[in-house]
Amino acid sequence: MGPRFESSNNITNSNNSPTANNNNGKQPPAKTALREWLQSLNLPLGLLSSTYQNYLSCHSRVWLLDNSSRMKYRDSHVGRGCQASVAPGAIERLDGGTRWEELQECVAFHTKMASKCWIPTNHWLVNDPTISTKDEWRHSLKIPLCQGTPRDIGTEVRQIERVMNEIVVLEDARCPLPSCVHTLFKGFER
């Protein structure tokens, strides 16, 4: 079994989180939240301008999470923190992870960042694991993040963690991505 999806470390209880410091229960100021996030990662603040432009470029983000059998291939990479005695704070690249493990890591990072910086995001699994493979394809339920109030963040993050940790990658090779994208776009047109 690969690494567990973990994004909620102190999301709702962090004293340096913009959502924790906001006494009105409203979303945090985006530029302030992004600045704090960049500082927490020890990234140069010179990235703030382009990061903020990217933040403003679209209303929300959409993630289509492929849970087809191809996600079991071991041709991906994941990161692991190095021991403090080797290189404090360094990340070691591990080869041979599954595509699903790599996706878990990407979604965990985005979930943590989005929850702290208030980046509205919707996640869908490409294949709904609750239906039989013989049934007609339909996309799974939307898994929202930053769609309600900052008080909802903890619940939303736990839902994403549950899906990413408990989802079973399907055994068959179906990956109806064109149909999935077409169906989702029809929903956006409304």
Q: What is the pLDDT of residue 174?
A: 58
Q: Is 123 helix (H, G, I), strand (E, B) or coil?
A: strand
Closest CA to 50 of 28, 33, 31: 31
**What are the strands, taking DSSP E only, across the chain?**
61-65, 76-81, 91-97, 121-125, 143-145
- Residue 15 pLDDT: 34
Lowest-confidence segment of 43-47, 100-104, 164-168, 183-187 by average pLDDT: 183-187
Residues 161, 181: Cα–Cα separation, whole Å? 23
Task: Give the mean pLDDT of 156-167.
Answer: 89
What are the pLDDT digits (tens) for 55-103? 888 878 888 888 888 888 899 888 777 665 566 667 777 888 899 999 9
* pLDDT over threshold 60, residue 3: no
Residue-level pLDDT at 137: 59
Amino acid in the structure at residue 17: S
Q: What is the pLDDT of residue 79?
A: 79
Average pLDDT of the segment spanning 38-67: 83
User: Greater confidence, 84 or 11?
Assistant: 84
Sequence-separated contacts (24+) of 154-162 with Cβ below 8 Å: 154/8, 154/11, 154/12, 156/115, 157/7, 157/8, 157/11, 157/12, 157/111, 157/115, 158/8, 160/5, 160/7, 160/107, 160/111, 160/123, 161/5, 161/6, 161/7, 161/8, 161/111
150: pLDDT confidence band, cut at 50, 70 and 90? Answer: confident
3-class state of residue 27 by DSSP: coil
